[in-house]
Each structure stands twice: as C-alpha cells, then as structure tokens.
Structure 1
Amino acid sequence: MTPGEPVKPLKPRKLLPRRITLRGRLTLIYSGMFLAAGVVLLGVTYVLFSQQLSPQGPKVFSGRSPATPPATVLPPADGAVRIGSDPGKWMKAQEDKLRDAATTSLITQGGIALAVVGSVAAGFGWLIAGRVLAPLHRVTDTARRIAAAPVADRGLHERISLRGPDDEVKDLANAFDTMVERLDRSFDGQRRFVANASHELRTPLTLGRALVEMAMHRRTASQDVKRLGEDLLQINARHEQLINGLLLLATSENEVIERRPVDLADVVAHVVTQTAPEAQQAGVTLHEEAHEAVTAGDALLLERLVQNLVENGIRHNSGHGGWVRVASRTRDDGRIEIDVANTGPVVPAYEIPALFEPFRRLGNERLVTAKGAGLGLSIVRSIVRAHGGDATARPHEGGGLVVMVTLPPDSTPPHPEAWTAPPQGPTLRM
C-alpha cells in the first residue's frame, strides 16, 4: 500500500450456517407438514363453526305493529333477564358474545392442542427418521474406519453386509461392498507385484555384491581393484537402501512410518558436494545456502529428494554460465522449506503441472537420448507427500525453474541415534 492511498473497508466475514443433519431435516419436514395440515384443519373447523352459529333459520315476528314499541319487561328482584325497548338488538348482542366466546375458545384450545400434538409428532418423526437412517450410519461408520486405517489396504477387508428390506439403502450398501471388494483385490495385486519386484530387484544386487566381494578378496587382486570394489560395494549398498525405501514407500501408501530427525542443511551440503563434479563438467555453478532446517522423516528419501532437484537443475540448464541455487531454511511459521532454482530454457507456466507426472518432460525431450528417465520430479512429489509436505514450482524469470518444497517441522521425541550425512562416495544416479 502506497502512502496516501485510501484504506479499503474490510468486508464482513460471512458466517457459515451450522450443518443440519439429514435426520434433523426429515424431522423438520415431518413436523412442518403435520403443522400445516393441522392449521388447515383448524381453519376449516373455524369456518364450519362460524356457519353453524350464523342465524340462517326463519325469523319469527310478533303480531304487534312495527310502529308500536314493545313493552318493556323489567326483571324482578330475584335477577331475571331485563329486556329493553329493542329485544332484537339485545338478542343480536347476545349472539355476538356467544360467537366470540366460542371462536376464541376454539382457536385457543385448538392451537394448544395442535402445538402439543405437533411436538409429539416431531418426537415420533425424530425416532422414525433415526430408525430409517440407521443403515446409512452403518455405511458411514464402515467408510470412516476404512479411511482411518494407518495403511489404506489394511481396512479394505471390512464389509457392511446390510440385512433388511430390499430398498435403496440396501442397494447403496451392496454397491459400497462391491467397490471395497474390488479395491481389496486391486491392493492384493499391488502387494504381489511389489513383492515380486522386490525379489527381482534385490536378486541382481545381491549377486553383484557377491561377485565384487569375490574379486576383491582374491590373492591376485591389485590395490586398484580393491579400491574399485569398495566403490562398487558402496554404490550397491546405496542402491539396496534406496530400493528398500522406495518399496516401503509403495507398500505404505506414500506414508513414512518410522521418522527420525533430519537436518536438511546437512543434506543440502552433502548433495552439493556429491553433484559438484557433474556441475563442473556441465559448466554450471552451484550456490549453496544451507541454513538449519530440522524435519522428521527418512534420511535416505530426503537425500534423494534434494539430489533429484539439484540434478534436475544441472541437467536442464543453459550450459556454461548457468547456475543452480539450493537453499534450506526454517520459515517464521515453523515449517521447513527447500528452494532450488536454476537457469535454463523458458518454461511455460501451463507446462509445470505436467512436469510432476511420471515420464513427462518439457517440449521435445520425449526422446530416447533425453536426459534422465522423466521420474525426477514425480519422485520428489511422492517423497514430499510421504512426509506430509507439498511441492510447487514456478517459472524462473529469464528462463529456468524454481521448485519449492515445504515440510513439517520435527515433532518427534529425541532419539539417541542422531542422523549424520552419508559417507562421501560415488553419487547414486536414477
């Protein structure tokens, strides 16, 4: 806001109406219909009652001449009725009083009776609505138990198995059971696939480790062979750890169960050291701004996250003269932030959402000779979501991309084994 600019009045916040349950709405409908019918019935009774009180019979006239005034009858001292000089007017007044008293009594007592009976009807309507909606509550409770399971595929064995009349509610319950059964079969197939993939991926790694160890322990093995074997064993061990982490991530529905405190400043420093040779070969300068940022999660997956972002910035850069800046910090609200920016080709804003999808690349990079496998940012988003965070990206001014990752702060109790940066060695590629 610039000085002198008029202050815009704040719009009042609209209060959201409280939620009314279906049972409450049905009760209100029942009660409203009953009261409306009662009011109509009371009105019809009032009209009929007024018609019955109206003088519709033949009028009886006396034999006196209209010009002759009637005699005045005075009541005796014992309280008899006194009739004045105009008995017709007196009778009319008495009829009006009787009609008013009867109408008032009808409306008052009828209204009280209608209110009492309406309250009783509302109570019965509430009970009946609860009885009718009980199967829906059963469906809701089952769905909530399935959704609240720590791992999604562990709650899919539950079924509603609703018994009762063959109506719309039972159709809904049967459709829900069918859907959950198909999901259960799908997760069973996924578990079998993950188990088979785990075996197929671990077997060649185990065989490769055995061959390397045999070559290293030969008597004729030179020092160069032993050093090469140590590097290969380290790469093999990192591959095994990464496969175990990714398989655990796949079987736990993108949720990291065991969390340890991890300082992302150490992770950033380690990843920058590991990727420095690749950046130097590509003519890209790495800028590191590692500030303390402690979160909780899997150290290997978080390292993979930062490494994917840095490698993505190096490989998709403008070449000699380009740069990649990676920073970690703790925001004012306590959340952890990782910011990786790089120079490079111009990235349209509408292309950014597709970059986080598997095997999606920018523009004409859908080639066999393209850099990487097109899984870097999709793995980044998967790891971030597994840790309860979020990953966003935006085009960098002048070309390139800015990827921002936010993670929750560390809230785990202190653990005796603090995380340390992985040992220096060959960089794991994916």
Structure 2
Amino acid sequence: MRRLLELLGFPWTIRTRLSLLYAGAFFVAGVALIVAIYLYLGVVLDRQFSIRLVNDAAPNAEGQLGAPGVLPPRDLMDEAGRISVLVRQARLNTLDTMLMVSLALVGFLTILAGVIGWLVAGQALRPLRDITATARRVADRSLHERIALAGPNDEIKDLADTLDQMLERLDRSFDSQRRFVANASHELRTPLTITRTLIEVALLDAAADDKLRQLGTTLLAVNQRHEKLTDGLLTLASGEQRAAQFHAVELGEIAGHIVTELTPVAERAGIRLGTAFGRGTVMGDAFLLERLIQNLIENAIQYNISENGWVSIHTTTNGNSVELVVENTGPVVPTYEIPSLFEPFRRLATTERLAGTTRAAITRGAGLGLSIVRSVAHTHGGGVEASPREGGGLVVRVRFPGA
C-alpha cells in the first residue's frame, strides 16, 4: 500500500494514514450494515410473499400451502407451484439488486469519506505543521523565537508549550556559553598578548647577548603557538554554537581576500597559488567562513612538497549548493587516515610539514585546523570531505547550501 501511494504521488504521512483509517473504518461499517440489511430483508421477503391458499370447498378454512389438515385442489396446487417459483425468483432479484446498489453506494461513500478524512486530518494537523515550521526556523537561525501556539488546552498545545520551555532553557544555556566564550577570549588572549609584547621588547634590547636572543626567539615562538591554540579553541567553540545571525555573503569574494593575505606566505614557502572563483552566495557568518578558508589554505601550504609545489583554490555552484575546493601537491596520504584528520589534535603520524617550517611565516598549530573546518561547515548546514590526490596531496571539498 505504501509503495502504491508513493508511486501515485501521495506521501506516506500521518495525514495519509489518518485518511486511509477513516475510509477503511467507514468501508468496514458499511459492509457490516449491508450484510445485516441483506439478511433482514431476506427474512422480510419470505414473510411478505408467503402464499396463503383458500379452499373453494371450505371458504372459511384457510391455511398455508402444505399445512397439516388442509388439502387444496390439484389445479390450485399447480398454480401455487408456479407462483412459488416466481416469488423465489423475485426475491433473489430484489436481494441482488439491493446488494449491488448498496455496494456501489458504499464504494462511493468510502471514497468520499477518504476525501473528507484528508481535509479533516489536514485541519487537525495544522498546529503540528506550525510547530514543525517554527522548530526548523529556530534550528536554522536562532533560539529567540517561540511557537506560542494559541487554542484550546489540548495535547497539541501541551506539546507546543513544552517545546517553548525547552527552547527557553536552551536559549539561556547558549547565551551563557556565548558569554563564557567572550570572557575567555578576553582573559586568555590578554596575558598572551602582554607576554608577546614583553618578549619583543626584550629582543629589541641591543645589550642582549646571543643566548638571551635565542631564548627570547624560542619563547616568542612558543607564545605564538599558544596564541594560535587559544584562538583555534575559541573559534571551534564559537563554530559549534551556531552563529546567531547569518547574512548573504559571496564565498568567492571571501576566498579571494584570504588568498591575497596568504600569497606572501606561499611565495616565501615556494608554493604557487592558483585560483578560479565563480559566483556563489551562501548564508553564513563571514568571520567563521574566513577562518575555514584560511585553515584550508594554510594546511595546503604547509603540508606540501619542497619544490614546484602548488595549491589550487576555486569555488563553483553545483545545483542548489556552493562548493569550495582546495587541492594541493604534497606527500601521499593513505585513504584510511583521512577521517582522523578532522578530529581535534590529530595529525598524520607519517607526514611532516615539508613546506613552511622554515620559510613560511605560519606558526605550527595544534591539529585544530580541519576540526574547525568541519565545525564551521556543519554550522552553516554544509559538509566537508577529503580524498587523496593522485601523486600526493589532498583534495578537500566543502559544500554549503546556496542562498
């Protein structure tokens, strides 16, 4: 039944099932009524067409055909037999006609009951559709909206009120988390910035000897790594919260801006950047999208080959989605190790950063780059996948729903 309805274009929804239930219940009740009427009508016809014979010799004596003590004349008996056959035939024709007409009416009324059931079920399920639409908007945008269903205090309104209470608690929880991230961003970055400034000032001292300069350089590199780790963790936390407000942004424009910023880094590492940006608008947070693209390109520059390396970045529109593709040369990456690349603090055990370790001004990270990419992609309703490139390197594809 389900496959038949889907082939006919009817979705297998609660509304469809309720309509079929109404129609089926009406059909069963109609058939039961027809059977009862059929049996009762048969008994009534037998009583109505019983032949009562009158004896000519005894006009005051009457009795049924074949009744004890009553013997009608032979000609009357022959006539009664013919009448009995006609009566039985008329009885059968009457019952058959009643049965055919009743079944036709029940079939028509069953279809009518299904249509009425479809309309009634749609009206009854309208509050559920409103609840579903509001829940989708809340999930895609923000937690500030409420269902606020009006109507009688029935089971559906109770469900809507319960969901509103749940959304209220979630909203308070996310607000608290956002405040924590903002406070942590300030409290963690400030001492690291002060430390970096003090180290840089100490390195500017002309009286510092070589050992002190070497120590200061090492401490500065460690501090920069801690800054990047802190920034990555905060970005990861912000991405997993879902941005409160999304705006229409041009993905190719953001990618071009990031490529311009990282071109000097790629040139120092001896990596050639190739771009091809098509038009593609997505609904998203520009800051998070910048971090996603920046992490992808930085990884592609650092995990590369030492000579004749290149990175290709392009955006395309594929149907209703916008796709960002970052492809690079590099060491061979086993297919079975690719899923672990998107886990926090995970790096390939057999791969070293061949480019950028000495020439590129990219601080060694903590293994959060692709984790942030996946988190930001999921926040925007998209997805990310990576595959080994033939000859070494990776091809990373990030898909976003088009605006």
How high is the TM-score relative to the length of structure 1? 0.59
- Which secondary structure does the structure 1 equivalent of 2:143 belong to? helix
Distance 1:36 1:361, change over 3 A: same
How far the C-alpha of 1:341 sits from its partner, in A, is 1.8
Are 2:194 and 1:187 aligned?
no
Taking the aligned partners of 1:129 and 1:32, their CA distance within structure 2 comes to: 15
Distance 1:174 1:265, change over 3 A: closer
Are 2:345 and 1:359 aligned?
yes
Q: 2:313 aligns with which of 316, 328, 340?
A: 328
Taking the aligned partners of 2:122 and 2:290, their CA distance within structure 1 comes to: 54
Give CA deviations for 1:219-268 in whole Å, capped at 9, x if unaligned: xxxxxxxxxxxxxxxx9xx99xx89x959867652864263671745643
Residues 250-329 of structure 1 aligned to structure 2 (within 5 Å): 253=243, 256-257=246-247, 259=249, 262=253, 264-265=255-256, 267-268=258-259, 270-277=261-268, 279=269, 285-295=270-280, 304-317=291-304, 320=306, 324-329=309-314
Amino acid paired to 2:266? T
Q: 1:59 aligns with which of 63, 66, 69?
A: 66
Q: Residue 395 of structure 1 aligns with which residue?
A: 388
Give CA deviations for 1:341-385 in whole Å, capped at 9, x if unaligned: 2322533x23323322332333489xxxx9521111122334455
Are 2:384 and 1:379 aligned?
no
Contact 2:295–2:370, Cα closer than 8 Å, also in 1: yes
Contact 1:393–1:403, Cα closer than 8 Å, also in 2: yes
Q: Residue 223 of structure 1 aligns with which residue?
A: none
**Number of equivalent positions:** 337
Residues 239-250 of structure 1 aligned to structure 2 (within 5 Å): 246=235
Moved more, 114-123 or 259-268: 114-123
Structure 2: runs of 5 or more not aligned: 1-5, 52-63, 203-223, 352-362
Are 2:143 and 1:153 aligned?
yes
How far the C-alpha of 1:193 sits from its partner, in A, is 1.3
How far the C-alpha of 1:62 sits from its partner, in A, is 3.7
Amino acid paired to 1:379? I
Distance 1:186 1:163, change over 3 A: farther
- Which secondary structure does the structure 1 equivalent of 2:247 belong to? coil
Q: Percent identity?
A: 35
Are 2:13 and 1:30 aligned?
no
Are 2:339 and 1:339 aligned?
no
Contact 1:268–1:326, Cα closer than 8 Å, also in 2: no
How high is the TM-score relative to the length of structure 2? 0.62
- Which secondary structure does the structure 1 equivalent of 2:180 belong to? helix
Q: 2:99 aligns with which of 84, 107, 128?
A: 107
Give CA deviations for 1:105-153 in whole Å, capped at 9, x if unaligned: 633664577568768866876677567x45xx43442342242146322
Amino acid paired to 2:39? V
Contact 1:329–1:338, Cα closer than 8 Å, also in 2: yes
Amino acid paired to 1:91? I
Taking the aligned partners of 1:373 and 1:310, their CA distance within structure 2 comes to: 16
Taking the aligned partners of 1:124 and 1:403, their CA distance within structure 2 comes to: 53
How far the C-alpha of 1:16 sits from its partner, in A, is 7.0
Two-structure CA RMSD over aligned residues (Å): 4.9
